Chains A and B, each alone.
Chain A
């Protein structure tokens, strides 16, 4: 599998380590009324779809940037690779 790194170009997947669902970017608000339930879901519940999935990958043997990879878990086709920090900022995080 080849991951097309947004800064460094196509790299072998062996250079990366896999974390999982990119929903980890959406950390719940700790001051919310429902914070207990939100953090339970954030920490323990994951979608495991057969199909398109947004995942966090870490370029461990490269520039050590975190990426959000949109990958089809059935075919391993990759449709989009973004820097995780760009995704997080687009969602209003780390401003």
Chain B
């Protein structure tokens, strides 16, 4: 047997946390993700299953911050579902069983890196990086935007000083560099 050690998106054995005076940038390694795309003609059944899963269907530009599964809107009839990786490692398989032929499910855990940016300087940091109206966003707002040419999702969490950023895992280092550079200039 090989003795393999899983690494995080940034390549470490444990998630990387960078702490500054007014902001913390923390890699979040504990997320399982899968996307749901309603199939044509099955939209209503798919919406009903989503409602059963999350309590509500995420509206355009919104997330439903529900436990253990949460979800946000990615595009017309497309959503991303997230859950704790420890308990939901097979999230995509579980969703496929639930949705059946009403939706196409794609495993997304290995495609994204997640950073939790928390602190009073969070809006300043976002203003330096991307074109979302960060000060108008409230808990449960979710938007896709560009950070250093990388398509990222920003999800505003219940804590008003907390934004969750999902970016392409293959460019985790570049996104981290962008966040740290901005954090240095606002801290």
A-to-B contact residues, CB < 8 Å: 7-8, 12, 14-15, 61-65, 83, 85, 94
In the assembled complex, the CB of B161 is this many whole angstroms from the nearest CB of chain A, namely 25
Kindly list chain A residues whose C-beta atoms are within 8 Å of the C-beta of B1.
none
Q: Does B68 contact A (CB under 8 A)?
A: no
Residues of B within 8 A of A (CB-CB), count: 13
Q: Is B144 in contact with A7, judged by CB distance below 8 angstroms?
A: no
Query: Given A7-B60, A7-B61, A8-B60, does the pair A61, B75 have CB atoms closer than 8 Å?
Result: no
27 of the cross-chain contacts (CB-CB < 8 Å) are A7-B60, A7-B61, A8-B60, A8-B61, A8-B143, A12-B131, A14-B131, A15-B131, A15-B146, A61-B131, A61-B145, A61-B146, A61-B151, A62-B143, A62-B144, A62-B145, A63-B73, A63-B74, A63-B75, A63-B76, A63-B144, A64-B75, A64-B144, A65-B75, A65-B76, A83-B76, A94-B40
**B78 nearest in chain A by CB position:** A63
Q: How far is the CA of A12 from the CA of B40 in the complex (A)?
A: 30
- How many Å lie between the Cα of A29 and that of B125 in the bound state? 52
Contacts of B40 in A (CB 8 A): 94
B38 to chain A minimum Cβ distance, whole angstroms, is 12
Q: Is the interface of B mostly helix, strand, loop or mixed?
A: strand
Q: Min CB distance, B94 to chain A, in Å?
A: 26
Which secondary structure dominates chain A's binding surface?
Answer: loop
Which residues from A are CB-within-8-Å of B74?
Answer: 63
Shortest Cβ gap from B92 to chain A (Å): 21
**Shortest CB distance A66–B (Å):** 10
> Which 8 pairs, one residue from A and one from B, show the smallest C-beta to C-beta distance?
A7-B60, A63-B75, A61-B146, A64-B75, A8-B61, A65-B76, A65-B75, A62-B144
Please give the distance in Å from B57's CB to the nearest CB on chain A: 14
* Residue interface bits B114-148, CB-to-A below 8 A is 1, else 0: 00000000000000000100000000000111100
Nearest chain B CB to A6's CB is how many angstroms away? 9
User: What chain A residues lie within 8 Å of B75 (beta carbons)?
Assistant: 63-65
Residue of A nearest to B151 (CB): A61
CA distance in complex: A78, B73 (Å): 26
